[in-house]
Copies of this chain bind each other. A is one copy, B any other.
Amino acid sequence: MAKVKKTPRPKAETPKGFRDYFGTEVTERTEMLAKIAAVYHRYGFEALESSAVETVEALGKFLPDVDRPNEGVFAWQEFDEKDNGDWLALRYDLTAPLARVYAQHRNDLPTPYRRFAMGPVWRNEKPGPGRFRQFYQCDADTVGSASVAADAEICAMLSDCLEEVGIPRGDYIIRVNNRKVLNGVLEAMGVTDEAQAADVLRTIDKFDKVGEEGVRQLLGKGRLDASGAYIDGVGLDEAQAEPVLAFLTSKGETVSETLANLRAAVGGSAVGAEGVDELEEIASLLEAQGYGADRIVIDPSVVRGLGYYTGPVFEAELTFEILDEKGRKRQFGSVSGGGRYDGLVKRFTGQEVPATGISIGVDRLLAALHAKGRLGGNAEGPVVVTVMDKARMADYQAIVGELRREGIRAEVYLGNPKNFGNQLKYADKRNSPIAVIEGEDEKARGVVQLKDLILGAKIAENATLEEWKERPSQFEVPRDQMVAKIHEILASQSAPDGEGA
C-alpha cells in the first residue's frame, strides 16, 4: 500500500538566472542611479517610468540577434474566456517602451522629447555565470531631433555621468563612429546586395576579436579559426575588401587626420560623405563645449552596434586594467553604448521619427568601481543597544530613540537576550561600530558603558602591539553624556588609521 504523500515543502530558491541584492549592493546602486539622474536632469532630460509589462505586439521583435517572436522575452497570455487575450511580456530594454510611449503620448510631449529612464529589464536567456536574466539599465534618449547636436550632447552627458559616479578623466574614453560612413564604404565597394551587406556587417563585428588580418581573410575566402574549424569567407576580392579595412583602421593621430582617412575610404559616396561631415560636426560641437580627445574621440574601429543603429554610434570604455578571475590583467572594457536609430517609432505611426540615445550599464560600472577599490568598503552598521535586563526594555527603547533623534543609526538587540555573547556576536555580524551596555549597576549609578567595536577588533588583531593594548576600547560615561561620546567615537573611527580614539 502506498503511503500518503505529504505536500513537499517549497524550495527556497530564486528562479534560475535571478539573484537577490543585499545591503550596500542595493544602496550603492541607488546612489549611482541618483547621481546619473542628476546629470541627465541638468541636461534637460525628463524622467519617465513606463510599466515593466508591455504587450508583445508593442515590444515587437527588436531584441538584437533574436529571430523568433517572443524568443528572448518572458511572455504570457492574458486570461480571456475565449482564450483570445493579449500576449504580454516583460520589457527587455528601455528603448522599445520609449518608442511605444512616444507614439502613444506624442501630442502631449514636447518635441524634441528628452527623457531618461532607469530600472530593471528582463531577458529570457540561458543563464550563465555572472549572466543574469534581470538587470538594470539607465538610459537617456532624445526623440524627434535629427540634429547631430543631439548626438554630441549625449556624448558630453555620458562623459559627465562617468566622472560624476567616480571614474576620473583619463580612466575612460568615449568612442564615436557612424553607420552612414560604413554605408558609404559599402557603396564605394560596390556591395549593393542586402544579403552581402549583412555578411560584411557580421564580419566587421568580429574586428574586435580577429583583428585586421582576420577580417581581411573573412571578407575574402575564409579563415581557419583558433579551434581548427574553417570559417567560410564573404567571397569579396581583395581590392573590394580594402575600403572596409581602410574604414576600420582609419583612426589617425588627430581628428582631422581620421576624417581625411574616412573621406578617402568612402570615395565618391554621398551618404558616406554625409556620415563623415556628421562626425566632423560632432567633434566640433564637443570641442566648443570643452570636450576634447582626452574624453571623446572619433574612432571608426568601434563596430559594436553598427548593424543596429542608423547614424552616429557611441561606446564608453574604461581604459584601466583590472585583474580577471584568473589573475590576468585585462582592460575593463565597455560600460555604455548607444547611437542614433530611426525605425522604432515608425512601427507605430508610419512616420519616421529620428532618435538618439545611450544606455549605461550600472551593474558593470559598479563592478568597475569595486575592482578599483573605490566602492565596497565595509558599510557601517548601527550602534547596537544591548539588553542586560529584559524587564527594562523600555529603558533601552528610550536610549535608542534618543540616538535616532540625534541622527545616529541605532537599534536595540531584539533576539533572545539571555546570552550576552550572542548579542556581541550579533553586533559583530551587523558590523556595528559601538555597543551600548546598561546593566542594573550602570542604571543605578546613572552611567552607560560604550564598547568601541572597531577599535576592539583592531586591538584583537594587533595583540602584540603594546600601544594598541594600552588604548581602552570600552568607556564608562554618564548617561547624559552618552550621545556626545558616541559622536566622538564615531568621528574617531572614520578618521584615518592611527589618528583614531
Q: Given A41-B409, A111-B415, A411-B44 in contact, is the A393-B12 Cβ separation under 8 Å?
A: no
State whether A12 touches B103 (Cβ < 8 A).
Answer: yes
Q: Does A23 contact B (CB under 8 A)?
A: yes
State whether A9 touches B288 (Cβ < 8 A).
Answer: no
Q: Given A20-B105, A76-B76 in contact, is the A55-B289 Cβ separation under 8 Å?
A: no
Q: Does A49 contact B (CB under 8 A)?
A: yes
Measured in the bound complex, the distance between the Cα atoms of B429 and A105 in whole Å is 14
Q: Which residues in chain A, 1-55, are within 8 Å of chain B measured between CB atoms?
A: 9-16, 18-27, 30, 34, 37, 41-44, 46-55
Q: What B residues does A254 contact at CB under 8 A?
A: none
Q: Does A74 contact B (CB under 8 A)?
A: yes
Question: Chain A 132-170 against B: per-residue CB contact (8 Å), 1 yes, 0 no?
Answer: 011000000010110101101100100010000000000
Which of A220-228, A232-240, A342-350, A480-488 participates in binding chain B? A342-350
Partner of A20, one of B49, B55, B410: B49
A111: nearest residue on chain B (CB-CB)? B415
Q: Does A477 contact B (CB under 8 A)?
A: no
Q: Given A288-B394, A394-B288, A412-B149 in contact, is the A10-B60 Cβ separation under 8 Å?
A: yes
State whether B397 touches A152 (Cβ < 8 A).
Answer: yes
Partner of A112, one of B74, B75, B160, B414: B414
Measured in the bound complex, the distance between the Cα atoms of B414 and A153 in whole Å is 10
Q: What B residues does A53 contact at CB under 8 A?
A: 15, 18, 74, 90, 122, 133-134
Measured in the bound complex, the distance between the Cα atoms of B26 and A348 in whole Å is 25
Measured in the bound complex, the distance between the Cα atoms of B42 and A44 in whole Å is 33
The smallest beta-carbon distance between A233 and chain B, in angstroms, is 35
State whether B49 touches A10 (Cβ < 8 A).
Answer: no
Measured in the bound complex, the distance between the Cα atoms of B76 and A75 in whole Å is 7
Q: Does A382 contact B (CB under 8 A)?
A: yes
Q: Does A208 contact B (CB under 8 A)?
A: no
Q: Does A424 contact B (CB under 8 A)?
A: no
A148: nearest residue on chain B (CB-CB)? B393
Partner of A58, one of B10, B55, B86, B381: B10
State whether A51 touches B18 (Cβ < 8 A).
Answer: yes
Q: Does A189 contact B (CB under 8 A)?
A: no
A348: nearest residue on chain B (CB-CB)? B12
Q: What B residues does A79 contact at CB under 8 A?
A: 124
Measured in the bound complex, the distance between the Cα atoms of B9 and A23 in whole Å is 45
Q: What B residues does A382 contact at CB under 8 A?
A: 43-44
Q: What B residues does A15 contact at CB under 8 A?
A: 51, 53-55, 78, 86, 88
State whether B11 touches A57 (Cβ < 8 A).
Answer: yes
A287: nearest residue on chain B (CB-CB)? B394
Q: What B residues does A24 contact at CB under 8 A?
A: 47
Q: Does A372 contact B (CB under 8 A)?
A: no
State whether A47 touches B22 (Cβ < 8 A).
Answer: yes
Q: What B residues does A19 contact at CB under 8 A?
A: 51
Question: Chain A 409-431 against B: per-residue CB contact (8 Å), 1 yes, 0 no?
Answer: 11110110000000000100110
The smallest beta-carbon distance between A18 and chain B, in angstroms, is 4
Measured in the bound complex, the distance between the Cα atoms of B10 and A347 in whole Å is 7
The smallest beta-carbon distance between A397 and chain B, in angstroms, is 5
State whether B22 touches A46 (Cβ < 8 A).
Answer: yes
State whether A147 touches B430 (Cβ < 8 A).
Answer: no
A345: nearest residue on chain B (CB-CB)? B12
Q: What B residues does A20 contact at CB under 8 A?
A: 48-51, 101, 104-105
Measured in the bound complex, the distance between the Cα atoms of B86 and A124 in whole Å is 13
Q: Given A18-B51, A412-B153 in contact, is the A394-B12 Cβ separation under 8 Å?
A: no
State whether A349 touches B414 (Cβ < 8 A).
Answer: no
Q: Can you list 16 contacts pairing A with B, beta carbon distance less than 8 Å? A: A9-B348, A11-B58, A12-B101, A15-B53, A15-B54, A19-B51, A20-B51, A42-B410, A43-B382, A43-B411, A51-B134, A53-B134, A110-B426, A144-B415, A288-B401, A289-B397
Closest 5 CB pairs of A and B: A44-B411, A289-B401, A12-B103, A26-B47, A288-B394
Given contact pairs A13-B55, A145-B415, A287-B394, enumerate 10 new A-B contacts (beta carbons under 8 Å). A10-B58, A10-B347, A11-B57, A22-B46, A44-B381, A44-B382, A75-B76, A144-B415, A149-B414, A285-B393
